[in-house]
Amino acid sequence: MTQSEDISTTEHAGSNRTLRGRWIAVGVTVLTVAALVLTPPYVNMNRYRRRITTTMSQSLGRPVHLDNVTLHLLPVPGLTLSNLVVSEDPSFGYEPVIRANTVEATIRASSLWRRQVEFSRIHFIDPSVNLVRNAQGRWNLEDVLMQASHVQTAPTAQRKAGPAPRFPYIEATGARVNVKLGNEKMPFSLSEAQFALWLPSPQLWRVRLRGRPTRTDSNVSQTGEINLEGSLQRAQKMANVPLDMHGTWNDAPLGETSRLLGGNDAGWRGTAFVEIRVAGELSNAAVTTHLQFNDLRRADFVPAQPLDITVDCSATADVARATLTNAGCALPIGDTKPIMLSAPSVDLENPRRSQAKMTFRGVPLVWTIEWAKLFAPSIPPSLEPPGDVSGEVDWNTVAASWQGSLSAKLPKPNPDASGATNLAPADATQFVLAVNSSPVPAGAAPAPIARLSPVELHPGPGSALTLAGQADANGYGLQLTGTGTDAQVLALANSLPPLNEGVAAALTSDAKAATPRVALTCSRLWGGAQTCTPLPQAAVPKPLRARHRR
């Protein structure tokens, strides 16, 4: 055999060995994949079901039940738990805390070599979660949280195993979160929720929640999205658990939001954005909120210019007891905050029984007219009167009523083409509105909730008009009496909305009289149109003070 033939034979043998090695590798790979695919169905994992449920029960402090456990090795080793149920403490009721038809638990492969089972990820698919607050003011998840805080675990992202097991990344998709107070199941719930919980450091949990608020007793849709993200720390007592949470409620249409919160459409349109921050211990946390209403208007009509409103609030919260102390809100207008709401204590379960005070300090009258334009389309868009509004309104918890007074002060106007040289003998006109609301027995007529004290006005030379009125739950009524020409009455009505609507059709004064008499009554049902009619002569009140007449 020549040297060249010997080299060729050697190269051919080496090529055969390489090809044979490749086929062996392919065969081993195929057999391994086949084993991973075909072996799990023949492995009876139900023999470990009791061990799994016992471990989960000890971690949660609640009995855990499941129907079936199956093993899968691809794409990563894991278990599929079927019909998982976490039972409730009987002191909170008998509905399960958590119910999920399917739970996927991914195993840390390295833990198998240490003859331990660590889960890197636990995924609840379409679970139902019940949050319950019992008559003693305790939440059902308090014990679960405290139980977890007493178990020593390593951070979720820790690469190497240590003496303490690593906390798994727990998540849920397609979840429904229900709320129950005592034995009453609230109509509010969170649907299509996504939840995540993990341990970035030994003493700190991170939590993330996203979902759409719904109401189970009505067909509410398009209520925006709630997002919550923050952290919780370990503590010996639930009240001392430090937390730092930030939440938002985005793109909430006011019509659907009012149906969600109150059960019916309140008749407002626009969108709301809510932002909340809670920081501190659960029993003494600082709460700040920011509310923004865009394109605010009534549903009855589209005004020329909707309003954008911002409200900033702060309070100290006991999260577990659902109470607020030293609560206060401010409504900014320009660079000032002339509208303030304060409440020393608020029970979030029954906020209507809380004492509160609303204070108005120099609120621009033009801003209040912008509010009035949302209710009355007849107000001239160009009407921007000077002046301001001040006053206080108190909410009385004992009598379940509110009372107070507001006063609007208009400065003395300059003469104009209509001949209206001033509205009052003094340099300013002051309107005083007394408000008072008390419970009305069933079947009784609505009681007045606001009274406009009689105020004397002078829209031109020789005029002396008195304006008074009142409002109740159904609507309001105004009375205009005194002396003045039709032109003076119309000039006054055009400058004082909502008096202007319907006044012209009701004027019956005698233009030939030296001092034409005016006696009108105007009324409006809330949401309806204003109508004005002549007031019977017997019902015409006497002038306030004769010396003011001109």
Identify the pLDDT of residue 139.
85
232 found inside a domain = no
Interval 504-535: pLDDT, tens: 888 865 555 566 888 899 998 877 788 888 87
Is 251 found in the same domain as 168? Answer: no
| CA-wise closest residue to 107 among 87, 77, 82 | 77
Q: Are residues 86 and 191 in the same domain?
A: yes
Residues 448 and 433: beta-carbon distance below 8 Å: no
Out of 162, 183, 217, a domain closes at 217
| Percentage of the chain modeled with pLDDT above 70 | 79
Give the span between the Cα atoms of 213 and 256, in whole angstroms: 11
Distance CA(9)–CA(81), nearest Å, equals 59
Same domain, 145 and 254: no
**Ramachandran angles phi, psi of 153, nearest 5°:** -135, 155
Confidence check: pLDDT of 469 > 60: yes
Give the confidence band of 447 by pLDDT, cuts at 50, 70, 90: confident
State both tokens at 263. Answer: 């059960």
* Bridge partners, 9 (sequence order): none
The tally of domains found in the chain comes to 3
Alpha-carbon distances, residue 349 vs 97, 323, 359 (angstroms): 21, 8, 25
Q: What stretch of H or E contains 313?
A: strand 307-318
Confidence of residue 464 (pLDDT cuts 50, 70, 90): confident
The answer to whether residues 374 and 352 touch, using CB atoms and an 8 Å cutoff, is no
* Cis preceding linkage at 377, omega within 30: no
* In 48-118, beta strands by DSSP E: 64-65, 68-72, 78-86, 98-107
Q: What angle do CA 485, 500, 333 make, to 5 degrees?
A: 130
Distance (Å, whole) CA 365 – CA 387: 5
Domain end position, chosen among 217, 250, 278: 217
**pLDDT tens-digit readout, 400-420:** 677 888 888 776 554 444 444
Q: What is the pTM of this model?
A: 0.78
Compute the chain's Rg from CA coordinates: 36
Q: Quick: pLDDT tens for 165-218.
A: 888 899 999 999 998 887 788 888 999 999 999 999 988 999 999 999 998 888
Closest CA to 56 of 48, 65, 47: 65
| Interatomic CA distance for residues 355 and 346, integer angstroms | 8
Residue 266 lies in a domain: yes
Whether residue 9 lies inside any domain: the answer is: yes
Do 99 and 195 have their domain in common?
A: yes
Backbone phi, psi, residue 151, to 5°: -90, 120
Give yes or no for a contact between 326 and 355, defined as CB atoms under 8 angstroms apart. no
Residues 157 and 249 reside in one and the same domain = no
Q: Which of 18-22, 226-230, 537-541 is predicted with the least confidence, judged by mean pLDDT?
A: 537-541
Q: Please indicate, yes or no, if residue 496 is contained in any of the structural domains.
A: no
Q: Which of 270, 300, 317 is the last residue of a domain?
A: 317
Considering the domain architecture, whether residues 101 and 200 belong to the same structural domain is answered as: yes
Distance, in Å, from the CA atom of 419 to the CA atom of 488, rounded to the nearest integer, reads 8
Does 312 map to a domain?
Answer: yes
CA atoms of 101 and 83, how far apart (whole Å): 4
Q: DSSP label at 3? A: H
Residue 270 lies in domain: 240-317
Prior bond to 63 cis, omega within 30? Answer: no
Q: Is residue 305 part of a domain?
A: yes
Q: CA–CA separation, 150 vs 492, rounded Å?
A: 74
Question: Does residue 181 share a domain with residue 115?
Answer: yes
Dig out the tokens for 394 from the structure: 């108190």
Positive or negative: CA dihedral 500, 508, 483, 472? negative
CA angle 205, 211, 215 (to 5 degrees): 130
CB within 8 Å of 415: residues ≥ 6 apart: 421
Q: What pLDDT, in 10s, does the model give residues 99-109?
A: 999 999 888 76
Shared domain check, 69 and 212: yes
Specify whether 87 is located in the same domain as 178. Answer: yes
Q: Which two tokens stand for residue 142?
A: 């308090």
Residue 53 shares a structural domain with residue 196: yes
Task: Read off the tokens for 548.
Answer: 């003011």
Asked if residue 193 is part of any domain, the answer here is yes
- Domain membership flag for residue 251: yes
Smallest Cα–Cα separation from 170: which of 122, 206, 202, 126? Answer: 122
In this structure, are strands 119-125 and 169-181 parallel, antiparallel, or unpaired? parallel
Place of tokens 């009289």: 513
Same domain, 51 and 145: yes
Identify the bridge partners of residue 287 per DSSP, sorted by sequence position.
278, 315
36: confidence class by pLDDT, cuts 50, 70, 90: very low
Tens digits of residue pLDDT in 363-385: 998 888 888 888 777 777 777 77
Is there a single domain that holds both residue 8 and residue 123? no
Q: Could you count the other beta carbons within 10 Å of the beta carbon of residue 2? A: 7
Between 441 and 6, whose confidence is greater?
441
